[in-house]
């Protein structure tokens, strides 16, 4: 298994990616990881790793890429001027087959744009989507997509997202008949945005899809569905709001106990429970978003994740390679889509469909 | 101060409204509250109140309304067939001036439609919005709007929402220069839905508005702005997702302590802190959403709130009456809007602009 890693995408530099990659190699010595970035920077970072990780890190395959795509660079700029970046070189390596999967914590818009150009899409998908799993009640998880690759989408694209979510949940997570729902402002079939109402009508007609109809925002966490589909604007807002709220609540839990539990005894007793709680509420527990619809596998790690979070994203990458997700999408999407994607939409200002 | 209350809107019957109204009258004996619903049902509910509330409840002015608008009734149906409902009769009472404000926990779509017909709008607002305050870090609060009254809105409507949020935060909450932001998928000015980009450009040109530009979903809870503006679809999804997440996290906090803190001593020590925490995380702490842009004051209480939540919504109602919010909106909106609302949009399928 060969993984190409853009080491330069993290908000706080290459530490999380380098340490996360080394830790993944400690856990699975059969992994081969290519690390992209300015070689001197990567070597410096490796030299600062603690001993057990440093030993594994010596097996990292360092690939020089002098340029870094910043978090605020526009996708169009990255396409035009980003050839020498760690992100673009990582993707070239995936496109050539030198690595089976690419992982980056970098600029999401640039990653999607460069991935589309380097890899193309499967089954004529005009708009790949971004999806991540979020924790639900009863220790479950739910995929949410799209998370920001596409805004102002049509009903046809929501149908693609639903089908891609279904295929991913079946093949990568082994759920026999994933429960799919469309996010809406009400559960009645008459309320909501025009694109959502259209997609609902079409999804009801697709045989073999375990489509549950509409769900409201609170349903995402209720554990009653496996895939929630929405426009990228909505999904991005919901995901980021949830991350912000979870951070705020964890802080309040800590503040509550610090303010009221002065005694050392109680503090000692509370510590393990609080620690466990914090990890349960950790928004990056399921770190590693999938770029769905590409003719190749690319995983987006959270920009602010730590080494453990990056390690988790690498595991997700391995899982998608093992299940060969792009081939499943290619094989199943074409037959199940009610309509071929309109070529007009594929050529819109949001980017061309590059079918490899 | 006279308040008209639709007692029949709650998810669990009239208890929260009746007990909440009685508790508000205990706190402020100068309040006069008219309670709308089937009189027999209201009398039954009052007879079950504990003694201190029952004394206050004897001063409730019961107004018979045989019909109840259910949570799943369509707005169009409520407009056509809801004349004898507790919601419609409550609103008539506000329209006639018999009460200064109306409060309901009922069906939001029906409440908005009936309110528009009964009260009209101010300053030619074609689309009133729904707004509620949500808790932020550092014990602050932030208004979010719109929360579901309008989907698929244009940039002009987002501008109205921003101006109405500004006027409310200044006059009702006394914030001198409320920080206003537009919700978007990135903070750069080139990313996002077309309506959002258009509204951003116009808002920058409005003098005297403390417009901060774009904010992402996690910014809602960061305490850095006072008003966050978005389309009703997005606002509804974000608010409901946040409520669902908060409920899930509170359950996990409880489960964590139940699982790990067997000893009675620790349980006793933990109880006050856990109780305080639960109330801090309570999603209905700021219960009482404002229907903004109406030529009258209507407060929407959460359908699942308890008596304390309903009481909180009544306090919000009193505050909006004291600050005479509709007059402020009427006086300030017209002068500050960059463009008059297009008559075409006001007459769209989402409802007509009923300017009184």
Please state the domain extents for chain A: 1-126+293-356
Does A282 have pLDDT greater than 80? Answer: no
Q: What average pLDDT score do residues A154-166 get? A: 96
Q: What average pLDDT score do residues A219-226 get? A: 94
Is B237 close to A185, i.e. CB distance below 8 A? yes
Residue B125: which of B349, B334, B325, B272 has the closest Cα?
B334
Instruction: For residues B119 and B115, give the distance between their C-alpha atoms in angstroms, rounded to a whole number.
Output: 6
Per-residue pLDDT band for A66 (boundaries 50, 70, 90) equals very high
Does B8 have pLDDT greater than 90? Answer: yes
Beta strands in chain A (DSSP E): 2-6, 32-37, 61-64, 101-104, 129-135, 141-145, 180-183, 211-215, 227-229, 289-292, 298-300
Dump pLDDT digits (tens) for B120-160: 999 989 989 999 999 898 878 999 999 987 888 899 999 99
Return the CATH fold of B152-286: Isopropylmalate Dehydrogenase (3.40.718)
Is B252 close to A188, i.e. CB distance below 8 A? no
Dump pLDDT digits (tens) for B18-67: 999 999 999 999 999 999 999 999 999 999 999 989 999 999 999 999 99
Q: What average pLDDT score do residues A145-164 get? A: 91
How many CB atoms lie under 10 A from the CB of residue A303? 16
pLDDT in the model for residue A285: 62
Does B183 have pLDDT greater than 80? Answer: yes
Residue A27: which of A348, A308, A257 has the closest Cα?
A308
Q: What percent of chain A has pLDDT over 70?
A: 88
First to last CA, chain B: 23
Does A52 have pLDDT greater than 80? Answer: yes
Q: What percent of chain B has pLDDT over 90?
A: 70
Thinking of the domain B1-128+293-356, which architecture would CATH place it in? 3-Layer(aba) Sandwich (3.40)
Dump pLDDT digits (tens) for A4-37: 999 999 988 999 999 999 999 999 999 999 999 9
Tokens of A341: 């994607």
Q: Strands across the sheet with A32-37, in order?
A: A61-64, A32-37, A2-6, A101-104, A298-300, A289-292, A129-135, A141-145, A227-229, A180-183, A211-215
Instruction: For residues B212 and B219, give the distance between their C-alpha atoms in angstroms, rounded to a whole number.
Output: 12
C-alpha neighbours within 13 Å on the C-beta side of residue B31: 27
- Which member of B221, B232, B237 has the closest CB to residue A245? B221
Q: What average pLDDT score do residues A255-277 get? A: 65
Q: Identify all chain A residues contacting B238, using CB atoms and an 8 Å cutoff.
A: 217, 237-238, 241
Does A349 have pLDDT greater than 50? Answer: no
pLDDT in the model for residue A283: 55
Per-residue pLDDT band for A347 (boundaries 50, 70, 90) equals very low
- Tokens 């499967």 locate to A122
Q: Identify all chain A residues contacting B74, using CB atoms and an 8 Å cutoff.
A: 188, 190
Dump pLDDT digits (tens) for A295-336: 999 999 998 889 999 999 999 999 999 999 999 999 999 888
Q: What percent of chain A has pLDDT over 90?
A: 70
Between B254 and A347, whose confidence is greater?
Answer: B254
Is B192 close to A251, i.e. CB distance below 8 A? no
Residue A308: which of A3, A6, A24, A25 has the closest Cα?
A24
Provide the 8-state DSSP code for A96: T
Instruction: For residues A226 and A211, give the distance between their C-alpha atoms in angstroms, rounded to a whole number.
Output: 10
Q: For residues B118, B123, B124 and B125, what is the CA-based torsion angle, rounded to 10 degrees?
A: -80
CATH number of A1-126+293-356: 3.40.50.10950
pLDDT in the model for residue B269: 67
Q: Write down the H helix ranges in chain B.
A: 15-27, 39-47, 51-57, 75-81, 86-95, 108-119, 155-171, 194-203, 232-260, 264-281, 307-322, 325-336, 343-346
Q: Identify all chain B residues contacting A185, using CB atoms and an 8 Å cutoff.
A: 148, 151, 232-233, 236-237
First to last CA, chain A: 23
Beta-carbon contacts below 8 Å between A and B: 159
- Tokens 């009460």 locate to B99
Q: Cβ contacts of residue B217 below 8 Å, gap of 6+?
A: A236, A237, A238, A239, A240, A241, A242, A243, A244, B183, B238
pLDDT in the model for residue A338: 77
Is A137 close to B238, i.e. CB distance below 8 A? no
Biggest alpha carbon–alpha carbon distance for chain A? 67
Q: Cβ contacts of residue B221 below 8 Å, gap of 6+?
A: A241, A244, A245, A247, A248, B134, B135, B136, B137, B142
Picking from B149, B197, B248, B284 by the largest number of A CB atoms within 10 A of its own CB, the best residue to mutate is B248
Dump pLDDT digits (tens) for B226-279: 999 999 999 999 999 998 998 888 787 777 776 665 545 666 666 676 677 677
Interface confidence: ipTM more than 0.90: no
Residue A110: which of A158, A65, A160, A68 has the closest Cα?
A68
CB A159 within 8 A of CB A199: yes
- State chain B's mean pLDDT as an integer: 88
């Amino acid at each position: 298994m060969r993984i190409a890693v853009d080491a330069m995408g993290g908000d706080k530099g290459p530490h999380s990616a380098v340490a996360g990659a080394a830790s993944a190699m400690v856990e699975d010595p059969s992994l081969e990881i290519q690390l992209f970035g300015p070689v001197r920077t990567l070597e410096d970072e490796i030299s600062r790793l603690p001993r057990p990780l440093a030993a594994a890190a010596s097996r990292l395959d360092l690939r020089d890429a002098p340029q870094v795509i910043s978090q605020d660079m526009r996708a169009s700029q990255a396409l035009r001027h980003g050839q020498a970046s760690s992100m673009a070189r990582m993707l070239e390596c995936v496109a050539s087959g030198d690595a089976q999967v690419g992982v980056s914590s970098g600029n999401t818009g640039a990653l999607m744009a460069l991935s589309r150009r380097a890899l193309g899409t499967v089954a004529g998908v005009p708009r790949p989507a971004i999806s991540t799993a979020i924790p639900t009640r009863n220790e479950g998880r739910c995929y949410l997509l799209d998370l920001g690759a596409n805004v102002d989408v049509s009903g046809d694209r929501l149908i693609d997202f639903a089908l891609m979510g279904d295929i991913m949940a079946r093949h990568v997570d082994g759920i026999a008949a994933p429960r799919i729902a469309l996010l809406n402002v009400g559960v009645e079939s008459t309320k909501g945005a025009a694109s959502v109402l259209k997609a609902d009508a079409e999804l009801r007609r697709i045989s073999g899809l375990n489509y549950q109809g509409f769900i409201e925002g609170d349903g995402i966490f209720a554990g009653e569905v496996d895939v929630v589909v929405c426009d990228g604007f909505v999904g991005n807002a919901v995901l980021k709001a949830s991350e912000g709220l979870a951070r705020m609540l964890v802080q309040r839990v800590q503040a509550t106990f610090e303010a009221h539990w002065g005694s050392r005894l109680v503090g000692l007793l509370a510590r393990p429970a609080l620690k466990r709680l914090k990890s349960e509420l950790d928004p990056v527990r399921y770190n590693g978003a999938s770029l769905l619809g590409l003719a190749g596998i690319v995983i987006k790690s959270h920009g602010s994740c730590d080494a453990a979070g990056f390690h988790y994203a690498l595991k997700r990458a391995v899982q998608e390679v093992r299940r060969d997700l792009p081939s499943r999408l290619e094989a199943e999407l074409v037959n199940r889509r009610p309509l071929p994607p309109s070529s007009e939409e594929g050529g819109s200002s949001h980017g061309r469909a590059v079918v490899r």
